[in-house]
Amino acid sequence: MQVPREIASSVFIGKPKLPVLLSRAAFRPHVNVQAEQRTQLQRGRRNFIHMIFGLAAVSVTGLLLLKIATPSSSQPSASTSIPSTSTSTPSTLTPSSYSGQLLANAANIPSNQSLTLNDPTVGPIVLIHLDNGQFVAYSSICTHAGCQVQFDPSARDIACPCHGAVYDPYNNAQVLGGPAPYPLQRIPIQYEASTGNIYLAG
């Protein structure tokens, strides 16, 4: 193997010359590729960690907003009471148990007669003193076309003057005839025996 003259001479003068392939510059491209790969790997790890933290922050924020927006199920719900309409006789009250609005006094309604009232809370009412001694009250608005019905003492029924609907006051104002589709609305009442007052059921 022959060594070039200039390389051999450079050895003796203390300044050896190496071929270009053995110089430091020949290794730079390889070193730069490794450094770039390491940098990209570190950058990818940082981006992944940032993404994880971002998703966690969004999830926590969403859960907090959902909890704030959702009403608590532990709050008690308001109860709704519906007055009973099954009895045909008004409840007997003592003065201390009175709880409704005064409608009339029994002394002002003879047996087999009625009294027409207009209460602001329930509207027009027909209050009837049946010949069996009981008091009943119904809405006086006909269920057919909204005309105002009247109690007929001779027939002992409730009749509509507009289209001939007839209701039975002794049987929860059930329809006896005519075009009415359903009974009159029952108005619950209470009777105070000591005074004879008749009240709306409270």
d(CA 119, CA 126): 11
pTM of the model: 0.53
Q: What sign does the dihedral 118-119-124-130 (CA atoms) show?
A: negative
Q: Where are the alpha helices (DSSP H) in the chain?
A: 5-12, 28-69
| Residue 102: strand, helix, or coil | strand
Query: What's the one-letter identity of residue 136?
Result: V
Q: How many Å separate Cα 30 from the centre of its chain? A: 70
Kindly report, residue by residue over 8-47, the tens digit of the pLDDT. 555 555 555 545 444 444 445 455 667 777 777 778 777 7
Kindly report, residue by residue over 52-94, the tens digit of the pLDDT. 877 777 777 777 777 776 654 434 333 333 333 333 344 444 4
- 16 and 7 in contact (C-beta within 8 Å)? yes
Residue-range domain boundaries for the chain: 5-69, 91-200
d(CA 86, CA 65): 49
Kindly report, residue by residue over 123-175, the tens digit of the pLDDT. 999 999 999 989 999 999 999 999 999 999 999 999 999 999 999 999 999 99
Q: 52: alpha, beta or left, given left = phi > 0 and alpha = psi -120 to 50?
A: alpha
What is the CATH number that goes with domain 91-200?
2.102.10.10
